[in-house]
Structure 1
């Protein structure tokens, strides 16, 4: 009889130990989840707090608006446009960097100012091109090297373009014109995807996790947009 009682006693001990282990693991997981949720909330509050100092003051200030208005005037009556382009390109670069590392949420400039960012990049692109050519002439950069100057500004603009093309917005005529000029700068969708990927991957280890997640989603949607556009072009050709 004693021998028959031993297995049941071992079974009770085994079950008790398993339950204790399960409870300990569950508590550990819950603690990690609560800590992650708290950290996420604090991170989001930090991002939102940065919107005023790191976004509104950098890109939506009255000074930037004056620069934008200057660059929208005909070149023959607007003095100091090169300086204005430099200042505006620096403003886009600053918000590009802070969006890249996750200091401000990527979704905010996309929702609020995507078309404006694209238009402004078109306005400043001549000055950026001049700066980059000067940079290349002074360094022995290898062929295919990623341009250093204003690279985060360009990255944000390319991503903004991809995002807008997957939306269904009606926009003002000057934004339509800016979109057309932007497309002429980059020739085709394949080039846009390639340059954005090169700019991002060169420093992806420095990017914010939320930024990486949203970027992947935007690129997937843009790939789908390109595929649909290709299918449509084939059907038009057959017709």
Structure 2
């Protein structure tokens, strides 16, 4: 059975990373008016490209080679941390606490504690498979809305905010891969992405490139498996 392989920050040091949704549109030629006809099933999949810097630490290099081996080409699925220096984290919305009696300040905020992590964003309505909008509770305490471009994940599926308002409404892409229930908290502060190597040769010359040559790039595509050993 397919295994979920954990890729962590200690081994996977990113020099550069890109997150891109590949849409499956195609052109069907021009219509009688001479206008191009673009057809699409409205389906896009994430492609993630991670560029690794040169590595001269032998222990870390061997650990990375072992990680690549565990992927077994395209068979197994990587659990990748999303590397985004601008993510919605405690620097944007630190954890807040009320007074001892449970009351908040008059403006709806509380005592901030950046060491306590990020203030969770909780769903106030169910999100169905195929939907691309959700609603978040931004009160008790009052907290910032997600920003356009922020990433979040749910169940290893990655999403990007493309529109939002100050009342908690969020539009995202791609459409929901799985249902999300009221009361759950999408992961904005440390999103994860489940992906497969784009082909079986990824990481083939890891030691040669990282030890003596230049940086290397590993490419992943979104995986939809959710049954793992």
TM-score (norm 1): 0.21
Identify the structure with bigger relative contact order (alpha carbons < 8 Å, sequence gap 6+): 2
More strand by share: 2
More helix by share: 1
